[in-house]
Amino acid sequence: MITKDVDLIADSLKNGEIVGMPTETVYGLAASIYNETAIEHIFAKKNRPLTNPLIVHVSSMEDARQLVQEFPSKAELLASHFWPGPLTLILPKSNLVNDVVTANNKSVAIRVPNHKTTLNLLGKLKFPLAAPSANPYNRISPTSAEHVESYFPDINILDGGECQAGLESTILSFEENEVVLLRHGAIPIESIEDLIGSRVLNRTSGGAKVNAPGMNKKHYAPLCELILTYEPLFMLSAVKNKKIGILWFKKVQIDSPQVFVNKVLAPGGSFEEASKNMYAYLHDLEKQDLDLIIVERLPDHGLGKTLNDRLIRASYK
């Protein structure tokens, strides 16, 4: 059920239920970090491996401090500048954080969301919320309450409108005096480097162990095949007898009769517009029972790098 009743959602969480909640990035599937049964329910509901840690959402820096052992100086700088906002920090966890939340890692992923409705909700609770994206594992992330309801019609969902960032948070960890990027996100890496005055180590490719959400090679994917390319028209020429949709960056290059539907991410030309629209447009295209979605690759800088990262993972076979 979709509702704007924050008190109803707060009561659901207090009763150990899982709920859908908005953030500025994507909608989350939320539960109290202190309710192990509810946290396990999140993993089961999403069909998410227990080895993939969850992000903890708190209402303030003060609340975050209770859940971590320390804030490195660069983490303090980043949090003070970007919180509330789409930045997740990986920090050594305190004994208040259950191992099931962190997939038995000794660190916790934590952030303060920049969404008025969600901060209002957190203010009514005496516990932080673990909230991975409210979609089945590896599927398209939800940026509206309706997207969440299509995935999980049996839960209460707090309606906070369409997500303004439309991309998941940037995730950083810390090694001695170095800042490490684990996931591209709604804050471009260039903005991080400008603030700290040094380069960030890029570890987004991951490895055998998943230290942060969004590191799997296959993620954010529609049910049909997706191809990411700089040359959609060339790719179109190689595909026959398929129901095809093309997702363009700024404009439709050629409206081919071979294409069932065209959509444009950013008619105004900005990465921010493309970011807000990408998941919503992928949901729209998926509903049209396509055999193939071809996506025009974006310039690989700023938020374009984040968008390409998501689309590369969505296209992984």
Alpha carbon distance 224, 257 (integer Å): 20
Identify whether residues 136 and 45 lie together within a single domain. yes
Residues 157 and 13 in one domain: yes
Residue 108 φ/ψ, nearest 5 degrees: -125, 140
Domain of residue 71: give its range: 2-163
Same domain (yes/no): 157, 263: no
The C-alpha atoms of residue 307 and residue 317 are separated, in whole angstroms, by 18
In a domain, 178, yes or no: no
Pick the range with the lowest mean pLDDT from 77-81, 176-180, 277-281, 294-298. Answer: 176-180
Q: pLDDT by residue (tens digit) across 308-317?
A: 999 999 998 8
pLDDT in tens, 51-85: 999 999 999 999 999 999 999 999 999 999 999 99
The predicted structure's pLDDT at residue 208: 46
Nearest residue to 214 (alpha-carbon basis) of 13, 12, 48, 78: 48
Q: Which residues, in sequence order, are CB contacts of 138 under 8 Å at separation 6+?
A: 216, 218, 219, 220, 221
The pLDDT of residue 14 is 98
| Same domain, residue pair 155 and 7 | yes
Check whether residue 12 and residue 139 sit in a common domain.
Answer: yes
Looking at the structure, tell me whether residues 18 and 127 fall in a common domain: yes
DSSP 159-193: ---S-SS-SPPEEEEEETTEEEEEE--SS-HHHHH
pLDDT of residue 86: 98
Q: What is the pLDDT of residue 74?
A: 96
72-125 pLDDT, tens digit each = 999 999 999 999 999 999 999 999 999 999 999 999 999 999 999 999 999 999
Same domain, 155 and 238: no
Q: How many independent structural domains does the chain possess?
A: 2
What are 193-204's pLDDT values in tens digits? 999 999 999 999
Residues in contact with 50: Cβ distance below 8 Å, sequence separation at least 6, in sequence order: 43, 100, 103
